[in-house]
Amino acid sequence: MKPLVLASKSPRRKQLLSEAGFSFDVVPVKISEIPNKNLNVNEQILDIARRKARAALPLLKASRTEPFIVLTADTEVIFGGGPLGKPQDREDAYRILRLLSGKYHEVLTAVCAVESSSGKELSHVETTKVYFKNLSDAEIWTYIDTGEPMDKAGAYGIQGQGRTFVERIEGPFDNVVGLPVEAVKNLLSKF
């Protein structure tokens, strides 16, 4: 396989890819992650992952002579048909966690891989259903006080203390963390 570049600043994605046995470089890119409201939720997430890949490609081509594959991802927590995003502040984190309490939501991760020399682009959206137990206000505020929810879609991290809120899941656990490794392996095997 051609050299792999993960265009993400997520330490969770880096860890999952490493644990899966991949050798890769990490070169984060910054783009606007404001979703295109003219697209459905799946298309919005795919669009963001694709925009990340397309932003990374010219930057990487400028510094590399050999062909490579760039991998990007975008994860969203979907509730009531729309994305919840990351909390703006403590009160917003409370609002999100209160919404999720006692209900299920979906975690969607779009992955996109682009081969630098041919421009071949492949993508996939993985879905996992996450069922939360009923949460008390005290549990929610204690969790918010840890600071963990503040940079997470859906205001929780399943790989951290947020896992105590989860009753069960249907689908890949690593998808909820931020990178569905089996889907990535399948995508990369097509290059």
Q: Is the pLDDT at 32 greater than 90, yes or no?
A: no
DSSP for the chain, please give it.
---EEE----HHHHHHHHHTT--EEE----------TTS-HHHHHHHHHHHHHHHHHHHHHHH--S--EEEEEEEEEEETTEE----SSHHHHHHHHHHHTTSEEEEEEEEEEEETTT--EEEEEEEEEEEEPP--HHHHHHHHHTSGGGGSGGG--TTTGGGGGEEEEES-HHHHHT--HHHHHHHHTT-
Average pLDDT taken over every residue of the chain? 94
CATH label, 4-188, candidates 3.90.950.10, 3.30.1510.10, 3.40.50.10300, 3.30.9.10? 3.90.950.10
Structural domain boundaries of the chain? 4-188
Q: Look at residue 143 in the predicted model and tell me its pLDDT.
A: 97
pLDDT in tens, 99-125: 999 999 999 999 999 999 999 999 999
pTM over 0.85: yes
Q: Look at residue 69 in the predicted model and tell me its pLDDT.
A: 96
pLDDT in tens, 118-158: 999 999 999 999 999 999 999 999 999 999 999 888 999 99
Q: Is the pLDDT at 1 greater than 80, yes or no?
A: no
Residues identified as active-site: 74
Q: Look at residue 81 in the predicted model and tell me its pLDDT.
A: 85
